Amino acid sequence: MIGMRPPIGEKIDFWRWSEYHRVQPGMNWTSKDIITAGVDVGSVSSKASIMITGQAYSWSITRTGSNSPDSARKALDLALDETGLRVSDLKYIVGTGYGRVNVPMANKAVTEIACHARGANYIWGPSVRTVLDVGGQDIKAIRIDETGRVKSFLMNDKCAAGTGRGMEVFADLLKIPIEEIGETSLKVAEEPPPVSCTCVAFAKTEAIGLLRKGWSKEKVLAAYTRAMAMRMANLVHSLGLEKELVITGGQSKNIGIVTRIETALGVKCLPMPNWKDNGLDPMVAGAFGASLFAKSLYEKTQKNNGG
Amino acid sequence: MITAGMDLGAQTVKAVILKDNVVLSRARCFSGFDPAQAANQALDDALKMANLKLPDIHYSVATGSNMELAPQAHSTVSMLNADAKAGTHLFPKARTVIDVGAEEARAVKIDDKGAMLDFVVNERCAAGAGTFIEAMARALEVNLEEMGQLSLKAERASSINASCVIFGESDVVSLIHQQESKAEIARAIFDALAERVASMIHVLGVNLDIVLVGGLAKDVGFVTSLSRKLSVKLLVPDYPDFAGALGAALIASSRARSLQK
């Protein structure tokens, strides 16, 4: 399913990343368990996570459509697939992400900053202090404490430059499947200078200009990826880098970005979980965090009801 | 004396031929993948219209973002200088010239002799140039040429995010879902770009003699929005998109004259 090429001859959308869902093997649920869900409706992808008493049980990633409620439903349905669970079995649901107020089945909405912080703490453990979340249309740098609570954050929400959308445009333009873009960008003998402008709307002009100069696809991609990584590294610098650093969001899967951020900041990120083989997927960090908030919020209502 | 100016812009190449500083012909081509070829084509077309041949040109000057690719140019000049030259030639009283093209926007402040005093350039962000309108028209599913007239039908303005093309698109889609009229969305789109361009002009200081050139000066929707934002009636020449090429051709004349001396 992952990284598979479509048959030759069909129209290929090179930007298209794999939508998928996963059920963790060896886990079971009973109606007595605290089953909660988190739904993260991002600008480009929607994610849902289902947890059994605070442990990730299943999750999904789908493309966000033009309608947030539909995208939320689609993601949650996909996460429920093959679990035997129905929406009515979920004790509490938290919505997050840019479309969080439009998650119809959610009991509550929580900001994506808080959810990503908590999700990163869940995936990598208490040593994480800085989370860089690179999503489809924005970049956030978050400082957290050992419990996953937000201490401070910086966000680039004025401009989509250097986000996943730009990478999609490049994948299509250079005809390289999006999941191979990171590897491809590293296939250069020498790192080229970064492009001067990372505006998503100008990505096409920028690439055509460099190809016209005779640059290889790999070199063009390296120059753009480097410029993107420098934007992200600058955001982390402005916030103040404290180790350990982790990257969440779609670009955490782009080895070209991760390597260049590490170079720019002079630190190594904590290792990426093996998400292709039952490891937790850092692209789902926000939804993991949301389903953990759902558990805490559910327990609070129980306490209030009981007392 | 015959001179030529070529403006190799991000989207189109423009050529202007002058005889003793009077326009003989104008031609335009899409830049495409090969702006050099497009420049040759535009120059050829302009020469044909003027019944001239390449050797008839005494001197030619290129400008625009791809100016170094112009094969037939004797020299180049910055877009800012070309704009300043054309602006004062067309309107001798002009003190500010704004040029809004497909991918760049520029504003130049000039003194009473046409010398440049100050300038502001936006070349890094598509939200401050014509690309913004193109992308929004696509999202709105309206032909680019119809956007201007459509926007004039709006009774009030909606508001959209003007900081980024990508975010602006999301806003347009939301407004469509809220069943806002296309006219009001179109006006919001022009207002958003006008806001960005107006803020560039505010850096230079607003005065009464502002000339607007570049491809966007042809769009009645944009001209209306920008005039409203600045509370000034803008001076828009005929063929505003050829202003850069005209400026280059005028500079070609003065360079040719100084060579003759």
Q: Specify the pLDDT at position A307.
A: 52
CATH number at residue A65: 3.30.420.40
Beta bridge partners of B118: B109
In a domain, residue A215? The reply is yes
Looking from the CA of B92 toward its CB, the CA atoms found within 13 Å total 0
| Complex ipTM more than 0.85, yes or no | no
Beta bridge partners of B57: none
List CB contacts (< 8 A) between B132 and chain A. 201
- In this model, does residue A49 exceed pLDDT 60? yes
Mean pLDDT of A209-225: 91
Q: Specify the pLDDT at position B121.
A: 92
Q: Which residues of B touch A (CB under 8 A)?
A: 10, 33-34, 103, 123-127, 131-132, 135, 163-167, 170, 173, 177
Cβ-contact B98, B122 below 8 angstroms: no
Task: Give the span between the Cα atoms of A22 and A49, in whole angstroms.
Answer: 10
Task: Give the span between the Cα atoms of A28 and B155, in whole angstroms.
Answer: 60
List CB contacts (< 8 A) between B124 and chain A. 196-197, 199, 202
Residue that is written with structure tokens 């129905």 in the block? A86
Q: Specify the pLDDT at position A6.
A: 44
Q: Is the CB of A259 inside 8 Å of chain B's CB atoms?
A: no
Q: Is the CB of A208 inside 8 Å of chain B's CB atoms?
A: yes
* Phi and psi at residue B29, to the nearest 5°: -140, 155
Count of domains observed in chain A? 2
Mind listing the pLDDT tens digit for each residue in B114-134?
A: 889 999 998 888 888 998 999
What percent of chain B clears pLDDT 90, i.e. is strictly above it? Answer: 73
Q: Regarding beta strands A35-41 and A139-144, do their DSSP bridges make them parallel or antiparallel, or are they unpaired?
A: unpaired
Task: Give the span between the Cα atoms of A36 and A91, in whole angstroms.
Answer: 6
Q: Specify the pLDDT at position A202.
A: 83
- In this model, does residue B105 exceed pLDDT 90? yes
- Kindly report the number of other CB atoms within 10 A of residue B130's CB atom: 24
Please indicate whether, in this complex, the C-beta atoms of A201 and B177 are within 8 angstroms of each other.
no
Please indicate whether, in this complex, the C-beta atoms of B132 and A201 are within 8 angstroms of each other.
yes
B32 CA to chain A: closest CA distance, Å?
10
Amino acid identity at A135? G
Q: Specify the pLDDT at position B165.
A: 86
Token code pair at residue A107: 């009991």
Cβ-contact A48, A59 below 8 angstroms: yes
Q: How confident is the model at residue A270 (pLDDT cuts 50, 70, 90)?
A: very high
Please tell me whether residues A178 and A121 are part of one structural domain. no
Mind listing the pLDDT tens digit for each residue in B14-56?
A: 999 999 999 999 999 999 888 999 999 999 999 999 999 999 9
Token code pair at residue B11: 């989207």
Please tell me whether residues A224 and A281 are part of one structural domain. no
Token code pair at residue A191: 């790192």
Point out the least confidently predicted range of A75-79, A157-161, A301-305. Answer: A157-161
Distances (CA, A) of A144 to A120, A192, A240, A281, B61: 9, 34, 12, 19, 58
Please tell me whether residues A256 and A285 are part of one structural domain. no
In a domain, residue A181? The reply is yes
Please tell me whether residues A287 and A252 are part of one structural domain. no
| Cα dihedral: A17, A23, A24, A29 (round 10) | 150
List CB contacts (< 8 A) between B135 and chain A. 201
Cβ-contact B15, B43 below 8 angstroms: yes
- In this model, does residue A132 exceed pLDDT 60? yes
List CB contacts (< 8 A) between A161 and chain B. 125, 164
The mean pLDDT of chain A is 90
Closest residue of B to A197, CA-based? B124
Please tell me whether residues A246 and A295 are part of one structural domain. no
- In this model, does residue B242 exceed pLDDT 70? yes
The mean pLDDT of chain B is 92
- In this model, does residue B179 exceed pLDDT 90? no
Mind listing the pLDDT tens digit for each residue in B141-162?
A: 999 999 999 999 998 878 887 7
Enclosing domain of residue A259: 156-265
Q: Is the CB of A139 inside 8 Å of chain B's CB atoms?
A: no
Identify the structural domains of chain B with CATH numbers, from first to last. Answer: 1-79+239-261 (3.30.420.40), 92-236 (3.30.420.40)
What strands, in cross-sheet order, belong to the sheet with A92-96? A20-23, A55-63, A45-52, A35-41, A92-96, A108-109
Q: Is the CB of A27 inside 8 Å of chain B's CB atoms?
A: no
In a domain, residue A160? The reply is yes
Q: How confident is the model at residue A15 (pLDDT cuts 50, 70, 90)?
A: confident
Point out the least confidently predicted range of A288-292, B203-207, B243-247. Answer: B203-207
Q: Is the CB of A43 inside 8 Å of chain B's CB atoms?
A: yes
Buried residues in A226-252 as b, exposed as e (16+ CB within 10 A): bbbbbbbbbbbeebebeebbbbbbbbb
In a domain, residue A167? The reply is yes
Q: How distant is the alpha carbon of residue A141 from its chain centre?
A: 13
* Phi and psi at residue A149, to the nearest 5°: -85, 145
- Kindly report the number of other CB atoms within 10 A of residue A147's CB atom: 9
Please tell me whether residues A112 and A172 are part of one structural domain. no
- Kindly report the number of other CB atoms within 10 A of residue A142's CB atom: 25
B261 CA to chain A: closest CA distance, Å?
39
In terms of Cβ atoms closer than 10 Å to its own Cβ (0-12, 13-18, 19+), residue A157 is middle
Please tell me whether residues A171 and A246 are part of one structural domain. yes
Q: Specify the pLDDT at position B171.
A: 85
Please tell me whether residues A206 and A243 are part of one structural domain. yes
Q: How many residues are there in chain B? A: 261
Question: Helix-strand-coil percent breakdown of chain B, rounded to 5?
Answer: 50, 20, 30
Q: How confident is the model at residue A2 (pLDDT cuts 50, 70, 90)?
A: very low
Q: Specify the pLDDT at position A11.
A: 60
Token code pair at residue A34: 């605290």
